[in-house]
Structure 1
Amino acid sequence: MHVPDGFLDAPTSVATGVVAAAAVGVALRGARRELDDRTAPMAGLVATFIFAAQMINFPVAGGTSGHLMGGALAVALVGPWTGVLCVSVVLIVQALLMADGGITALGTNVVLIAVVTVGVSWLVIRGLQLVMPKRAGLVPVQAAVGALLSVPAAAAVFTGLFAVGGVAPIDASTILAPMLGWHTVIGIGEAVVTGLVVGSVVAARPDLVHAARSAMARRTLEIRTPEVAR
């Protein structure tokens, strides 16, 4: 979904750039509460995995492309604020060093691929955790659902931005169907990948998975309760 230079007009690109800069600034502060000496290395691993996954692109329509985004994976493993930073760093490196996505469209890409996917994924995961049993083993399923819904959500937001500030001679309604269709398929693939990766980490080190912290805290409390009772 990398948006190229010149695909959106200047006012729209500037507006998304401001939103992206604000989001990254807030994420920098929030990440301090999510990371510690044990979990900080995980952020680097997540960014590396997302970078590799995003190298696989699928042409969609009107010069746009689709690929795995990694927002749900980042949210589940390192949290929403750190997740925004991980995906944003990947996008910056891709734009500056690999010409993947436009420089003037960098803010748009950060909003779509980092902010929207991470935000939607986190809302989905937290919502499911409120209604599902608090078990670490369910986190991969929750992350997979977050991935499935976040990808077409980002495609829908892109279509909205194009309807407002698109400069290509393409009607927004022409882009909407292929964008949602392809990104729903991509979302299914991303859900599978996210579920498998998060499941592997949960099986090995659930204490390092951000989305499993509430379940791990509850498990610790249940283990220690009999000792307190005595």
Structure 2
Amino acid sequence: MIAPATGIKKEFYSAFALFLAENGFATLTFDNRGIGESKGDSINSSNASLANWGKLDMTAVLEYLKNEIPNTNYHLIGHSAGGQLVGLMKNATELKSMFNFGSSSGSLHYSKYPFRLKSSFWLNFYIPVSNLVFGHTKSQWVGMGEPLPKNVGKEWTKWCNGKGYVKVDLDTKIKDHLYNELNLNSLWIHAMDDEIANYENVKDMIRVYPNIKSKILTLSPKEYGFTDIGHMKFFSKKKKELWNMATKWLNEN
């Protein structure tokens, strides 16, 4: 199960998913509600939120995968939000392991300057103003993926201004979750040039899963002969040599 980043369509992961399938893994990609083929009739009337993506959409995707390929082990590969929201899945305890890239709290508290200023502008000015004027977030205008339903943007702003991302609303607004129950093996990969998922933010997100077995792997682009990896390019075909990390993890777990 490949769980996408915020506002990223399933097609972004097609080549990576095909690679996994060619290596023997039944693999499923999907669009969260309000995104891509799950956009619906009107983005402004969508009930999409980060919480609903985890609680409803990701839960449903795992159920579909279980029905299509029963009686096996199930693993999640999360990109950014895809690894953040796992504890909201009602069936999360049925996952055998989790492999994440670029998943972190994205907290402004641990962001470095000057990126912190850019991120603060995005979260605290651009998203609220766009929601007010258009009824949704015009993410595509600033190269941040697909347009976002307004409640996705609102939660993104709230959670990244705090610590622990979804932890901001846990046990208050969000009372039903499995973050404390999960004890699966997990690998958290991030790139040294990823300004969102820096090392401190990755650790901040892991703390929301107090009982999981976690390992952090930091990638240096230069070590692999790349100029950059950043927050997105692990899944690029040009970075295909990194993908064996995923198959190695899946085979070992």
**TM-score scaled to structure 1, two decimals?**
0.29
* Bigger Rg over Cα: 1
Q: Which has the higher strand share?
A: 2
For CA contacts below 8 A with separation 6 or more, give which structure has more relative contact order: 1
Q: Which has the higher helix share?
A: 1
**TM-score scaled to structure 2, two decimals?**
0.27
